[in-house]
Structure 1
Amino acid sequence: MKSPLKQALALVGVLSVTTPAFAGKTYQVTGPVLDLTDSTITVAKGKEKWEIARDAQTQTKGDLQKGAKVTIEYTMSAAKVEVKSEKTK
């Protein structure tokens, strides 16, 4: 029988490998950086401005600055869902 510590470490190992699969579909946007803060990157995609959140875990490769052309990989997930009831006639 495995010790509780070994079981916990095995579970952490499995979760670290499988968690990205549960993170959802990834998407990409490519364009020049219009604005940059500690918590957001704003990119131009055609005539649209895309504001993508970022945090300390965001991996960055290269010199990220305004005007740089970037490709950002991101995921979308629902934060809140409210179901509206149908109006009665």
Structure 2
Amino acid sequence: MKRRLMMVAALLLVSPLALANEATGELVELTDTRIVVKKGKKDLEIARDTGTKMTGDVKVGDRVTVGYKMTATSIEPKARKKSKAKSKNKDL
């Protein structure tokens, strides 16, 4: 019983970390509302709010690692396309 309880507790602690992502690269822009990191040839724009933790003195041009989460804000169904195979059979 204790073993199961320990496993459940460990899973609950680790599960939020599984949803987190990291981006490492050159800091291009840092404002109160966004962080832009150059990752390879692309710029990755990440939202920032008052809950964002910063350690040390971070400046534009520094190499940084940014932890972030992606959260869906809405899901909307779209009409499905008709299959060409079905439309060909109707003509026969």
TM-score normalised by length of structure 1: 0.70
Q: Give yes or no for contact 1:24–1:75 (8 Å, CA) kept in 2.
A: no
TM-score normalised by length of structure 2: 0.68
More divergent stretch after superposition (19-28 vs 58-67): 19-28
Greater helix fraction, Structure 1 or Structure 2: 2
Q: Show the 5 A alignment for 1:26-41.
A: 26-41=20-35
Paired with 2:52 and 2:15, the residues of 1 have a C-alpha distance of 18
| Gapped regions of structure 1 (runs ≥ 5) | 1-17
Residue-pair matches, total: 72
| Gapped regions of structure 2 (runs ≥ 5) | 1-11, 88-92
Paired with 2:59 and 2:44, the residues of 1 have a C-alpha distance of 16
Q: Compute the displacement of 1:47 (Å).
A: 0.1
Q: Compute the displacement of 1:21 (Å).
A: 4.4
Report the structure number with the largest CA radius of gyration.
2
CA-atom RMSD in angstroms: 2.1
Is 1:60 the counterpart of 2:60? The answer is no
